[in-house]
Amino acid sequence: MPTLAQIWRHPIKGIGAEDLGEVTLSPGRPIPFDRAFAVLTGTSEDTGEWQPCRNFARGCYAPSLMAVRAETNGEQITLTHPDRDPLIFAPATDDAALIDWITPLYPADRPAPRALAVAPDSGMADDPDAGVSVASLASLRALSDAVGQPLDPRRFRINIWLDGDLAPFEELSSAGKTIRIGDVTLRVGDRIQRCRATEANPDTGRRDVDTLQALRGHWGHTDFGVLASIETGGTITVGTPIEVSA
């Protein structure tokens, strides 16, 4: 039987992944504190509303950001990176410290990081509709085989990873189906088209594999993972069996 294998959230869009053992979900919302903030670049302004990803610092522009790990503790976030000293800061009061910390990791030829934006209740994921991203470790293993090296799940910034009795990329044909994890139900939606952020090694922050070429060459697309909306809330825990139904 398939199980819930991993849960991840990303408090700051494109900057830092946080591994969770369990989390409580609410209908019509993202994972709590997932993409709750985003770093504006260039002349982009904080509108208080959802904005497209091109306005923010992202791993496709700055692969070094993919090596950031995050840990939340109340009002504070701790960020670590192999090339930087750890940063502990409070987004509500100390966003300048974050901008100073990530600026050396950002390419000089890109619009510079300038300020922290607060996401609306729906979060600041690439899709304006609130929800979670879902993929299977079977798909990750298949892609790892295709590129000839193991791929870390952090490359794909997925919220919920499934494992067990699932065929590789089975989730891509699950639109409209329901995923039940304990008392929680998710409704599967669109596929996620990937960008160059997935080419970066999350241990080093350096591009080391052409994931997009491998997806195109072996499966004829650049999709990996799906979006899902939370229909019934509750607490989900790693190791819980899951059911997929029409």
Residue segments in the chain with a per-residue pLDDT below the cut of 50: none
Give me the pLDDT at residue 244, please.
Answer: 92
Give me the pLDDT at residue 158, please.
Answer: 98
| pLDDT, tens digit (0-9, with 9 covering 90-100), for 42-91 | 999 999 899 999 999 999 999 999 999 999 999 899 999 999 999 999 99
Give me the pLDDT at residue 246, please.
Answer: 76
Task: Give the side-chain half-sphere CA count within 13 A for 244.
Answer: 23
Here the tokens at position 238 are 């790693």
Residue 134, domain extent: 3-10+20-30+127-245
Domain assignment of residue 112, yes or no: yes
Q: How many domains does the chain have?
A: 2
Q: What CATH number has the domain bearing residue 186?
A: 2.40.33.20
Instruction: State whether the Cα torsion 141-147-153-158 is positive or negative.
Output: negative
Give me the pLDDT at residue 93, please.
Answer: 86
Give me the pLDDT at residue 68, please.
Answer: 97
In this structure, are 187 and 215 located in the same domain?
yes
| pLDDT, tens digit (0-9, with 9 covering 90-100), for 218-227 | 999 999 999 9
Domain assignment of residue 84, yes or no: yes
Give me the pLDDT at residue 92, please.
Answer: 83
Domain assignment of residue 195, yes or no: yes
Rounded-to-integer distance, Cα 99 and Cα 244, Å: 42
Rounded-to-integer distance, Cα 216 and Cα 231, Å: 32
Give me the pLDDT at residue 1, please.
Answer: 83
In this structure, are 26 and 147 located in the same domain?
yes
